[in-house]
Amino acid sequence: MASKQIQWPQRLVNFVAFIWLHLTVVNLLRLLWLGTVYYDERLVYKSAMATCDWDNWENWGPETAPHRMVLVADPQIIDRHTYARRGITLSATIFYTDLYMSRSYGSIIDHLNPSTVLFLGDLFDGGREWDSDKIAHHHSDAMIPEDPAGFPDWKEFKDDYWLSEYVRFSKIFPPTSYRRTVQSLPGNHDIGVGNGIKESVLDRFRLFFGDGNSLLTLGNHSIILLDTPSLLNDVNPRIHGPPRDFLNSLPDLLGPTPLQPHIIQNASTPAPTSPPPQNNPKPVILLSHIPLHRPADTPCGPHRQSQNPIRIGGGYQYINTLTEPLSQEILHKTGAKHIFSGDDHDSCTVIHEYEDRKQRAEEVTVRTFAWTMGVRQPGFMMVSLLNDGLRGGEETVRVHECLLPDQIGIYLGYVELLVQTLVILLLNMARRRGLLWRWCRCLRLGEGKREEDRGKREGLLGIVQGEKTTEMEVGTGKQNRGCCGEFCRDLGELLIVVVPFYLALLALW
């Protein structure tokens, strides 16, 4: 028994000696890099989800069961039409943006577990440009419209490219069981906007994702999806007809429908009067890709990254806001209390007034889901609905903006850590070779005079003999080559561990 008690201190000493032996600068850098890479490629997503957990902000009270929704805006998956770059730079951009959105969306599903996920349009970036119909129906290149971006491969966009992009989108945002996912709301990058929309592009989007105009009931709320890009068209009834008919039917669809008693009556019996209409018991939430009109320079609230408000205007295949008459018509016919839109890529919250300022609606423009759309920190909107009939006139909708990891900041952090690593390796090499000691001696007071005198005696500051000079140059060359080899060896020992670990994290999620 006593021998065992003696062995434990010896084992502890051996363990400490083993750790001390391997506690080198390279191994410490390995641990630093492995921890940093694992956090930035894995834990940073879990940390973002933990910050946005429903229990942190819902506050509905005990024993409630709200309906939880997530709104995703403007993923705009990058394609050959997005940038002028080609080759490995474009491939790397596509790979890392897809990976970022896939990890973010997977984290939302796994950790937040929403009941419904709604997309606010702009699923693709160049979907409106992949018009195979204009290639199939024209017989000469002169009749094909020019590529607005000036890319030479404009004529190569065909339906097989659309299918490949659709499969790619489905891999980034896969459907999940026991969860409603609605992706049918089109954006201007999906189909175009107004008179720039082509029937073939719109029909193809509807075929794959469904009708962009629909009325859903979620959590005892009426959720309206309105295809506003098509509603702005005024030349083709097949494009603007469906959203126009849907908008005109909303007062009836949302209005009360009291039951009438079934009475057999004769001419002398007056018909019973209908009960007065009641307010819609299901509060209305409107989803539109294009934001509603607001006066110029309307502030967007504290959550916006940019200091500039949403600009009133438009350009090729886009318009920043709907027109004022159309916005008022939509508000009047929907009676919406809450509006969620996309398109701008940045957050914006405004209050709309309608019905002679008797009604108010809050519109929240949801920031983009991608880190390549001009916003440093992407995000999504969390919406909690509770309309159980016991609220007593209180608000039944609560929203929370959740921010995703700062991918650009992560990359800049890698660059900063790499620079620091190179400096540490250089200093460590100098320490082992005693170079730091020599530098410090040169800087010490009083040492400079003695070194100068000794140099004069050795002829270093006078006429230097050729043999001694040659010998010194050879020794210096050997020392430089030895330093370079030592530095490269330390760097290689670091990379041989960190790079495979990083690649494994990229391949496995």
Which residue reads 């607001």 in tokens?
Answer: 294
| Closest by CA position to 379, among listed 349, 412, 405 | 405
As a whole number, mean pLDDT of residues 329-348 equals 95
| Closest by CA position to 306, among listed 238, 242, 377 | 377
**pLDDT at 34 > cutoff 70:** yes
Tokens of 340: 């969620």
* Residue 453 within any structural domain of the chain: no
- Minimum mean pLDDT among 69-73, 235-239, 245-249, 253-257: which range? 253-257
pLDDT confidence of residue 356? 82
Query: pTM for the whole thing?
Result: 0.80
**pLDDT at 84 > cutoff 50:** yes
pLDDT confidence of residue 58? 92
Which domain, by its residues, includes 201? 65-132+155-255+281-405
- Minimum mean pLDDT among 10-14, 349-353, 381-385, 444-448: which range? 444-448
pLDDT band at 130 (very low <50, low <70, confident <90, very high): confident
As a whole number, mean pLDDT of residues 347-371 equals 93
Summary mean pLDDT of the chain: 81
DSSP string, 246-265: HHHHHHHHHS--PPPP----
User: What is the 3 state secondary structure string of 152-176?
Assistant: CCHHHCCHHHHHHHHHHHHHHCCCC
Going by the DSSP 8-state scheme, the letter that residue 274 receives in this structure is P
pLDDT confidence of residue 279? 52
pLDDT confidence of residue 115? 95
pLDDT confidence of residue 461? 40
pLDDT confidence of residue 426? 87
Q: Are residues 177 and 39 in the same domain?
A: no
Q: Are residues 205 and 313 in the same domain?
A: yes
User: What is the 3 state secondary structure string of 97-157?
Assistant: HHHHHHHHHHHHHHHHCCCEEEECCCCECCHHHCCCHHHHCCCCHHHCCCCCCCCCCHHHC
As a whole number, mean pLDDT of residues 161-165 equals 88
Q: What's the number of CA atoms in the CB half-sphere (13 Å) around residue 74? A: 26
Q: Do 112 and 70 touch, CB atoms closer than 8 A? A: yes
pLDDT band at 433 (very low <50, low <70, confident <90, very high): low
Rounded to whole angstroms, the Cα distance separating 206 from 468 reads: 85
Q: Do 487 and 435 touch, CB atoms closer than 8 A? A: no
Q: Are residues 230 and 292 in the same domain?
A: yes
Which residue reads 């001009």 in tokens?
Answer: 374
Helix (H) or strand (E) holding 5, with range, is helix 2-22
Q: Do 64 and 359 touch, CB atoms closer than 8 A? A: no
As a whole number, mean pLDDT of residues 136-140 equals 35
Rounded to whole angstroms, the Cα distance separating 127 from 141 reads: 21
Rounded to whole angstroms, the Cα distance separating 285 from 222 reads: 6
More confident residue, 393 or 297: 297
As a whole number, mean pLDDT of residues 186-197 equals 94
**pLDDT at 239 > cutoff 90:** yes
- Listed in sequence order, the residues at least 6 apart from 66 whose beta carbon sits closer than 8 Å to its beta carbon are 58, 60, 219, 384, 385, 386
* Residue 95 within any structural domain of the chain: yes
Q: Are residues 302 and 421 in the same domain?
A: no
pLDDT band at 132 (very low <50, low <70, confident <90, very high): low
pLDDT confidence of residue 284? 95
Rounded to whole angstroms, the Cα distance separating 229 from 295 reads: 20
Of 370, 405, 440, at which residue does a domain stop? 405
**pLDDT at 269 > cutoff 50:** no
Query: Tens of pLDDT along 407-432?
Result: 999 999 999 999 999 999 988 887 77
CB atoms within 10 A of CB 414: 15
pLDDT confidence of residue 280? 53
- Minimum mean pLDDT among 85-94, 411-420, 429-438, 464-473: which range? 464-473
**pLDDT at 297 > cutoff 60:** yes
pLDDT confidence of residue 258? 42
Tokens of 279: 């307010």
Of 367, 390, 405, at which residue does a domain stop? 405
Q: Do 126 and 81 touch, CB atoms closer than 8 A? A: yes
* Residue 5 within any structural domain of the chain: no
Give one word for 415, left, alpha or beta, with left for phi > 0 and alpha for psi -120 to 50.
Answer: alpha
Q: Are residues 414 and 299 in the same domain?
A: no
Contacts 24+ apart (CB under 8 A), 148-152: 148/316, 148/317, 149/81, 149/84, 151/80, 151/81, 151/84
Q: Are residues 183 and 50 in the same domain?
A: no
Q: Are residues 45 and 83 in the same domain?
A: no
As a whole number, mean pLDDT of residues 130-156 equals 41
CB atoms within 10 A of CB 111: 14
Residue 285 dihedral angles phi and psi, to the nearest 5°: -120, 125
Q: Are residues 401 and 414 in the same domain?
A: no
Of 388, 405, 422, at which residue does a domain stop? 405
Tokens of 196: 């720039």
User: What is the tally of structural domains in the chain?
Assistant: 2
* Residue 222 within any structural domain of the chain: yes
Percent of the chain whose pLDDT exceeds 90: 57
pLDDT confidence of residue 428? 84
CB atoms within 10 A of CB 161: 15
pLDDT confidence of residue 277? 43
CATH code, domain with 347: 3.60.21.10
* Residue 464 within any structural domain of the chain: no
Rounded to whole angstroms, the Cα distance separating 194 from 226 reads: 14
* Residue 491 within any structural domain of the chain: yes
Residues in the chain: 509
**pLDDT at 304 > cutoff 50:** yes
Rounded to whole angstroms, the Cα distance separating 500 from 502 reads: 5
Q: Are residues 97 and 224 in the same domain?
A: yes
More confident residue, 449 or 45: 45
pLDDT band at 485 (very low <50, low <70, confident <90, very high): confident
* Residue 39 within any structural domain of the chain: yes
Q: Are residues 391 and 414 in the same domain?
A: no
Tokens of 491: 């760097």
Query: Tens of pLDDT along 198-210?
Result: 999 999 999 999 9
More confident residue, 276 or 321: 321
As a whole number, mean pLDDT of residues 451-477 equals 46
CB crowding 237-250: b at 16 or more within 10 Å, else e:
eebbebbbebbeeb
